[in-house]
Chain A
Amino acid sequence: MKNYQLAAKDLETFFERILSSNLKLVAPVSTTQHIANLKSKTQILFKEIPTKEDIKKIISDTYTDMSAKEVFFPQSEPVIEYTHKKGGAVDIKDVEPTLKETVLFGSRPCDAFGFSLLEKLFSWDYDDPFFLKRRDKTTVISMGCTSPLESCFCTSVGLSPMSNIGSDILFTPVDNGERYLIEVVTPRGEKLIETINGAVTSTTTRQSIFTDGNTLVQNKNILEGKVKEQMKRKEDFKDISDILKDKFDDSQLESETYRCLGCGVCSMVCPTCHCFDIVDEGESSHGYRMKNWDSCSFALFTKHGGGHNPRDLQFKRCRQRYMHKLHYYREKFADALCVGCGRCVRACPVNLDIYSVVYNLKKAYANKKKDNKDNDNV
């Protein structure tokens, strides 16, 4: 696919052209929520950019508190609408997901990889129309990372701060942020570039804001190497699946995760956590059946109606989370369900850190192997 470049000063024009092409634009903005008049909390979240005036609110190269999975898999969404009629009859109607062509700008390469991981689950034998239809209508533009956070560990899970899996277009700021290398990854990405250039839909002539980007590829490659080098967390997660296979009843996993409070914030901020609940919301006469985010960290998640709970202790729930992400998902879908974004590490109130857990498990495993070998040699 093609490479383009865009001068950093033309980024606003780029957004304007997305809006004037009648596309929905979702991008990171800073939002302040006031919580019960007691305090306010400022977060960087993905929000719709409704008008040209809102473009200046976009923070184009940033880390967001929540991932952009909400664009495809909202925290709460109706799946059917029910109405009770007289005589015990019920009417139900499908709820169609909003299907406006959308451009998601500013997700990170790790997030974008997460979308492709979720796609495997949501098309596993039963196609989830809500996720898949939105995915089909969304062009993902990711922003390559030039200064990863200390908690980031994308290279541990086989990605890079500038990898393009799951993105339609990848932006990378090069030449000290003066311009972006724009790598088109998919035909959908190419279509967007054409649209923005006016080649397809515009009735007025618009000047292309892009120029050839091939000359920047080498700069990007050098930069990518440097950024990878800067990353503090480098432990390879590749063999953790095999280690965890035998760790289910291991006391180390229990002690590593013992301090988990079960608050579920890790699942909420995670780009790949997808567990959900199905509940009816509304009045008894009319309402909606909702699909709501849920978390395996919650005690009620697996509790049977009869009272039995297979995961009755917090460490068992925590173990489930790690096992699911790092072992089960890989067995089923070939990839682990962690993209190394580090959000759960930053959000956890008790500093439970998936990277450290893996690091410690690997270390203990290596020591044990070494001990066994030493014993064999005696």
Chain B
Amino acid sequence: MCSMNSTSTDKTELKNIYRPMLMKIISIADETKDTRTLRLEFSDQKEKDAFNFKAGQFGLYSAFGHGEAVFCISSSPSKKGYIECTFKKVGKVTVALRNLDIGDTVGFRGPYGNNFPIDNLKGKNLLFIGGGIGLAPLRSLIDNVLDLRSEFSNITILCGARSVSDFIYKGQIREWESRSDLKLVKTVDALTSPAEETEWKASNGRVGLIPKILADINPSANNTYAIVCGPPIMIKFTLQELEKLNFSRDKVITTLENRMKCGFGKCGRCNIGPIYICKEGPVFTAEELKNLPQSDF
């Protein structure tokens, strides 16, 4: 029976699945006052050559002596040789990661989880909707799509943050704004000063929560996929708004994150109902989410 399975294959050769790869920090970018992006390069050439991932996947990043934390890979798979992660200072591990400098070593396990279905998106209009740090997993896909721009139809990016200073990837947003082959809409929940207001309005910035702005820009659902990420409450209301705009649930894609420890379905904490976010996610369609117990989100 089951115990026989274990004798039938050689267990002595099993790899240590908890062993991280070592990576060096090659650059640091402060996105906001508490959010930072690290660019990491594999220390080992063999690991660097063998590494592959797809937009939407995640990993466990560690500061040795402090522990591991889960973040998505926020850089595009089309950018070879390095990966990036963007994280907010919230606890022991993220504080420890912030205390590291260029040249210091961090651990990385991954990539884990499924990915955005980029092949299904080809030939379609794409509507990206990112709230706050939720823009991080979308950026991996947006950059990936822009590197293959001709394979996709119209692209719209709607991104929002609590305030102007809370935007991550400010430089990149400016770059996207300057492109003629995509439409960028940016919004803040609120402005903090008249001076800020003048500047924000001058740069075509909007004011209002993402679901409201989404209703204002009134995108066509025809031949369009919406890809959404943000805080749980924003996702909830954005999915409702998309439904009003006649987006069918299988054309609305989102990526979830829960607290995770292992990343591969064993530590037992990231499930929503029977679904393990680390194994069966983190990318889901709104249709898939509909069947999960709503009070477990």
Contact = CB atoms under 8 A, between A and B. Distances in A.
Contact of A305 (B22, B62, B91): B91
Interface string B259-288: 101101111111111100001000000000
Contacts of A296: 268-269
Interface residues of A, number: 74
Given A140-B3, A248-B295, A82 B64 contact: yes
A186 B266 contact: no
A213 to B, nearest CB: 21
A177 interface: no
B266 A276 contact: yes
Contacts of A366: none
A186 B3 contact: yes
B214 to A, nearest CB: 22
A344 B269 CA distance: 20
B14 A324 contact: no
Interface stretch (A9-17, A201-209, A278-286, A369-377): A278-286
B5 A276 contact: no
A133 B16 CA distance: 11
Contacts of A39: none
A276 B263 CA distance: 12
Contact of B293 (A121, A165, A248, A303): A248
B211 interface: no
B258 A277 contact: no
A114 to B, nearest CB: 11
Given A119-B2, A316-B295, A278 B67 contact: yes
B9 to A, nearest CB: 9
A327 B296 contact: no
Interface residues of B, number: 57
B297 interface: yes
Contacts of A291: 18
B15 to A, nearest CB: 7
A125 B105 contact: no
Contacts of B62: 280, 289
Contacts of A140: 3
B88 A306 contact: yes
Interface stretch (B96-104, B164-172, B217-225, B246-254): B96-104
B16 A79 contact: yes
B107 interface: yes
Contacts of B94: 305
Central interface residue in A127, A167, A274, A310, by most chain B CB within 10 Å = A310
A287 B65 contact: yes
Interface string B1-32: 11111110001101111111010000000000
Interface stretch (A89-97, A149-157, A227-235, A353-361): A89-97
Nearest to B66: A280
A179 interface: no
A243 B137 CA distance: 37
Contact of A92 (B14, B64, B274): B64
Contacts of B11: 129, 132-133, 135-136
B90 interface: yes
Contacts of B12: 99, 133, 136
Contact of B279 (A99, A125, A136, A186): A125
B232 A94 contact: no
A124 B2 CA distance: 13
Given A116-B2, A305-B94, 20 more contacts: A82-B64, A89-B105, A90-B22, A117-B2, A121-B265, A126-B17, A126-B265, A165-B2, A186-B7, A249-B295, A276-B266, A287-B64, A294-B267, A296-B268, A304-B258, A306-B88, A308-B231, A308-B232, A310-B272, A328-B271
8 contacts: A79-B19, A88-B100, A124-B266, A248-B296, A276-B262, A280-B67, A285-B65, A289-B64
Interface of B: 1-7, 11-12, 14-20, 22, 62, 64-69, 88, 90-91, 94, 100-101, 103-105, 107, 231-232, 257-259, 261-262, 264-274, 279, 293, 295-297
